[in-house]
Chains A and B, each alone.
Chain A
Amino acid sequence: MSSENNNNNNTATNGISKEEVALYDRQIRLWGMEAQARLRQSSIKVIGVKALTLEVCKNLVLAGLGSITIQDSTPINEIDFETQYYFHEADLGQPKDVVLAERLRILNPLVNIQTGEGRSEDTTYDLVVKIGTGIGGDSLEVNGKCRKRGERFIAADSFGLFGYIFIDCLDAHEYIEEEKPKDDNAVVKRISLTASYKPLADSLTSKPGVANLNRLVRKFPPLVFVCQTLSTISQLEDIKSAEVLAEAVRRSIEGRGIPDGVVDDVLFGRVVQSLGTEFVPCASVVGGTLAQEILKVITRKDMPMNNWYTYDAIKADAITCQL
């Protein structure tokens, strides 16, 4: 926690007002003033409103992100009141993005919160986050468009007792890693690094290159293959049984050198039971993890997961892998 700005004697530091420094004190002490300043200047878009969206947006708004654009005009439904806690009975029928934005503004008035399509064609976002597959069209297409515009992309979802995050920070993401000093006196060493990410389309056809099933599941949690499949299905209601899911997964692992039976029937059954439901404690874990990765992407501090994260709430399995 070395002082990073020895020459600035004004009330503002890095353009951050004294009031903000007081508000963000406890987090500035963790990630530093520079990261906080970067956060403040960044702008992200979030597509799709469900419990996971509430969690991620809550975390990012609390952190003091510069601007968030939320896109999802679906009218609020009765079932949403069970888990999407910012929505109240009086909001029935109102567009989700508008209501969520209102509630988030109260949470932190310093953050600029927009709704709908958001921007004009010339502005690019620092990051586009697609939550779930129901809103905003096909994730592959969205990722493709982002790549063309040089925008980083994340696809994530939390359903029932499961969740996943996919991260694409483009071909050359630069970031800093700090070497932990041995004692309070040592100077913190900053190392500059670069990591390369692949688009979703490449990830979905990638070959893990491990033929042996036992060795495969030590590196790749079987859940990740299920989540890869789900990430491309916009109508999750169509998956009405474990058999249908198994068939969809079989098709998506075909030709990739992945042994059949990588996902067992028990997992198929558990996943199907979770589809179409929300469990906020699970969304809380995935949302916290996702927000942390988003902060890494934006502040360029520490390496964002490269490139899949899956979570199984009952097994407490929170595992990353690269596909």
Chain B
Amino acid sequence: MRTNSQISALFGPDTATRLATARILVVGAGGIGCELLKNLSVSGFHHIHAIDLDTIDLSNLNRQFLFQRKHIKKPKAHVATAAIKAFNPSLDTSAMQANIKEEQFDVDWFSQFALVFNALDNLEARRHVNAMCLATRVPLVESGTAGYLGQVTVIKGGETECFDCHPKPAEKRSFPVCTIRSTPTAPIHCIVWAKNYLFVQLFGEPPEEEREVVEEVEAGQEEELKALKEESGALAALSEAMGSGDFAQRIFNKVFCHDIGRLLSMSDMWAQRQPPRVLDYDELEHQACDPPADHSNLSMAQAFILFRESCHTLARRRLEGSPLAFDKDDQDTLDFVTATASLRSYVFFIDQKSPFEVKAMAGNIIPAIATTNAIVAGMMVTQGVLALAGRLDECHTAYLSYNTKRPRCVIRESLSKPSLLCPVCRRRYLTLRLADPAKTVLGDLLDYISCLEGDMSLGMSRDNISVVEGSRLLYDPDYDSNCSRSMQDLCLVPGKMVTFANEDDSDVVPVILSIARPLTKERGGLDILIEGFEYIPEYIPLPQQSLKEECSATAVDNNSIEFGKRSIDDVNEVFESPSKKHAFD
């Protein structure tokens, strides 16, 4: 093995050994992932595992530097690990093209790693990895970048804030129904209309209700809503005519003439607003124009032609197969959305956006460059080394600024303690193993939990416990019909996480039981085994402990005061009480 002598000089021989022996997981081999893997490969790490479900695309090559043109369409994780092996042939690497949320990546699988790095681009996967790392007590280095901006932080269950300690803003923007369907004022409204309404109604799988990007309708708008529903119905009916040669014309006349005419008849709506105009199919049909340019706005004639062509192409594709989904890389669908959004903008006298811009807005493209990823990945590995070296107190949450007039390019803060109200990390994470999931029934597990005593007591029993998995309520004192069903029958299999809470006493910390792999015979013939009691995060009070102990007033958690759910005494004692030390420490 090629050792890195410089790591030993900079961090000491003990840390250098830890880095060389630790198994590292990198989740995501894209923009941040490539820079991260490169850094890890030459910083004294040896065992590196990468996972990414994606394949390589041309637009990745401006920053995902481990990939070249010849790798387009190949899986990212595999190409990336092969590339870093060339940087350091002594590495022990492995790659998987898979989704980290799959059940095969259960607590036992995560437990093999000493450190996890997140290089993801979506909230859902981040939340999932956060939960798995909390459950296994593996430190997690979290990150994100967009354009010139980025951030890094370190999450260690029980010691720092977790990903969900502070609520994150929702990823999708939502708009009122009427703005999209009746009174748009901005290009984005027209694009959302084209992509989420028109395209879906004609070529896609329409949802039962238009729920996705619309907010609640205010009172007094029920009539308008009813009219809109009728309109959607009529449009859906029109899609029966998809095979006919005048399909595009029928659609055009409906959405750009007839429906607009209906809107115009509601004169109140336009008392304070610019009224829309109706478009003329025949007039536009006879207009000549140049081919459109990607970075220029479409003229009405250009939009018209693009609409007609894409409409017929999509109709043909739909008739030949299953419902279509919008994809910014599927040119036909993009053309349709671009064209219809453009025409709608002309109808409502809204500014045009070029095809280049529409692609970004409809496709949620986030601009991305190599430099931001390089900076973030550099900070991530430094933090990772410190975390492995047991120097968590020297770790930071860091935010990149760009073009700031202030001296600091990176805003950094020490890591915060976990939030007392966090629904994810203010939990006891334990693991459950069963000898025979087909034999053990839910009732057996409840009995087992109820009987736990002393330091292993969870403060829960059959008459106060609630059991939830995902969005399913499996048991509560009024709902016990599942007690006789086997764990397997209830789909409580490895990879799942089940929450147990004491319904009567909110001071009892809920338990999240991660279902792990089955018990082997060597475990002494047990049917049920719950593990992980030895780890009690400092801030979680044990069920027997009194909540009225004396302490100083300094360590007040501002979050708790703000939410006002716990009294100031409770808050103080959790941070300051000296008797918090657990028997197993």
Contacts and interface: CB of A to CB of B under 8 A. Distances in A.
Contacts of B431: none
A83 interface: yes
A285 B62 contact: no
Contacts of A30: 147-148, 367-369
B301 interface: no
B407 A58 contact: no
Given A3-B354, A9-B291, A288-B375, A62 B62 contact: yes
A185 B409 CA distance: 30
Nearest to A30: B367
**In the complex, which of the residues B188, B370, B379 has the most CB atoms of chain A within 10 Å of its own CB atom?**
B370
B293 A107 contact: no
Interface string A213-241: 00000010100000000000000000000
Contacts, number: 200
B440 to A, nearest CB: 47
**In the complex, which of the residues A10, A89, A286, A313 has the most CB atoms of chain B within 10 Å of its own CB atom?**
A313
A279 B6 CA distance: 8
Contacts of A313: 378-379, 382
Contacts of B503: none
Nearest to B381: A281
A319 B368 contact: no
A53 interface: no
B118 interface: no
B453 interface: no
B87 interface: yes
A168 B284 CA distance: 57
Given A277-B9, A316-B396, A284 B374 contact: yes
A161 B407 CA distance: 20
A1 B360 contact: yes
Nearest to B296: A6
A319 B409 CA distance: 6
Nearest to A4: B295
Interface string B89-122: 1000000000000000000000000000000000
Interface in B413-470: none
A21 B356 CA distance: 11
A115 B160 CA distance: 49
Contacts of A184: 186-188, 361
Nearest to B293: A9
A123 interface: no
Contacts of B38: 85, 280, 284
Interface string A46-87: 000000000100110011100000000000000101110110
Contacts of A314: 382, 386, 394
A100 to B, nearest CB: 14
B214 interface: no
Contact of A303 (B61, B385, B403): B403
Interface residues of B, number: 69
A23 B370 CA distance: 13
Given A22-B58, A62-B65, A85 B87 contact: yes
B295 A33 contact: yes
A281 B10 CA distance: 13
B181 to A, nearest CB: 20
Contacts of A260: none
B10 A285 contact: no
B374 A26 contact: no
Contacts of A287: 374
Contact of A58 (B10, B65, B68, B412): B65
**In the complex, which of the residues A21, A22, A88, A284 has the most CB atoms of chain B within 10 Å of its own CB atom?**
A284
A221 to B, nearest CB: 8
Contacts of B293: 8-10, 13
Nearest to A6: B296
A317 B186 CA distance: 42
Given A4-B295, A318-B409, A280 B39 contact: yes
A6 B59 CA distance: 24
A104 B359 CA distance: 31
Interface in B313-359: 351, 354, 356-357
A316 B374 contact: no
A25 interface: yes
B4 interface: yes
Nearest to A313: B382
6 contacts: A25-B59, A26-B369, A58-B374, A83-B42, A284-B39, A318-B408
Interface of B: 2, 4-7, 9-10, 35, 38-39, 41-43, 58-59, 61-63, 65, 68, 86-89, 147-148, 186-188, 290-291, 293-297, 351, 354, 356-357, 360-361, 365, 367-375, 377-382, 385-386, 394, 396, 398, 403, 407-410, 412
Given A22-B59, A64-B62, 10 more contacts: A22-B58, A26-B63, A29-B360, A29-B365, A62-B62, A284-B375, A286-B378, A287-B374, A288-B378, A292-B372
